[in-house]
C-alpha cells in the first residue's frame, strides 16, 4: 500500500494533508524518515510513525472515548446521539468501527471502539471475566458491611449471585467498584441489593486500559501501541 494512502486510512488527515506531513519529514517507516508519499509499505508488518504517533501494523483501529451521559453506545440510532456521532470527524459507521460492549445512556467514561471483531469478542466473552472498574456516586454513604457484601457477591435476581468484586471508598465518599461480569445494569442492581441507589456512574478502567485523564467528556483518541498490546494480552 502507498504510504500516503495508509496514513489517510488511519485518519491522520486527508491525502493532501498526509502528503505534506511526509514531505516535511514527519513520517518514519521502520525508524527511517521517508519523504515520498508514493513509498510502498507492508501495512501488516511495517512500523509507521507519524508526528511521533506509532501506527500499529495490521490495519485495525482502536479508540478510547470518554463517553458523556445522554449518548447511546450504538453505531446508529434514528432518535438518539450515538458514540459514533461524536467521532464523525474521525470514523464513520461504514468503516466498520463499533463500540465494544455498552455503557448505559446515563453512564459516562471509558468506552473502547474498534473494527477488530476478534479482540472485541474475546474482551466481552463471559468466560474470560474481564475487569471493569466504575466510579460510583451513591445516594447514601456505604458501610463496611455494604462493601463486604459487594465484594462477596450479591443477589441481583439472577440464577447465581454476582461474582466476587473489589469495592473501596474514596476520600470523597464515592465508591470504586471493580466487577468481572457484564450483566444488564449490573452496578445499579448491585447497589440496590445493598439498599442503595446509583446517582452517577463512570467507567474508569476496562480490560487493562485506564481512562486517559486528559480526555475531556466527549473526546476520543487512538490507542497507543502499548495500550493495544495490553488489550491483546487481556
Catalytic residues: 104
d(CA 77, CA 80) in angstroms, rounded, equals 6
Per-residue cell: 116: 477488530
Amino acid at each position: 500500500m502507498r504510504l500516503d494512502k495508509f496514513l489517510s486510512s488511519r485518519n491522520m488527515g486527508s491525502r493532501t494533508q498526509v502528503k505534506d506531513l511526509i514531505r516535511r519529514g514527519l513520517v518514519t517507516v521502520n525508524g527511517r524518515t521517508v519523504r515520498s508519499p508514493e513509498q510502498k509499505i507492508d501495512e501488516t508488518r511495517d512500523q509507521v510513525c507519524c508526528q511521533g504517533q506509532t501506527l500499529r501494523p495490521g490495519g485495525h483501529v482502536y479508540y478510547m472515548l470518554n463517553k458523556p451521559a445522554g449518548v447511546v453506545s450504538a453505531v446508529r440510532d434514528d432518535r438518539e446521539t450515538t458514540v459514533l456521532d461524536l467521532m464523525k470527524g474521525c470514523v464513520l459507521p461504514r468503516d466498520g468501527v463499533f463500540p465494544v460492549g455498552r455503557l448505559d445512556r446515563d453512564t459516562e467514561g471509558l468506552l473502547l471502539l474498534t473494527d477488530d471483531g476478534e479482540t472485541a469478542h474475546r474482551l466481552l466473552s463471559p468466560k474470560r471475566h474481564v475487569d471493569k472498574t466504575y466510579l460510583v456516586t451513591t445516594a447514601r454513604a456505604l458501610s463496611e458491611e455494604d462493601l463486604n457484601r459487594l465484594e462477596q457477591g450479591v443477589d441481583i435476581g439472577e440464577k447465581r449471585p454476582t461474582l466476587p468484586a473489589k469495592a473501596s471508598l474514596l476520600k470523597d465518599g464515592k465508591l470504586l467498584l471493580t466487577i468481572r461480569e457484564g450483566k444488564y445494569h449490573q452496578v445499579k442492581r448491585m447497589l440496590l441489593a445493598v439498599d442503595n441507589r446509583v446517582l452517577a456512574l463512570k467507567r474508569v478502567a476496562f480490560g487493562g486500559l485506564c481512562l486517559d485523564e486528559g480526555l475531556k467528556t466527549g473526546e476520543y483518541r487512538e490507542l497507543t501501541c502499548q495500550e493495544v498490546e495490553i488489550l491483546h494480552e487481556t
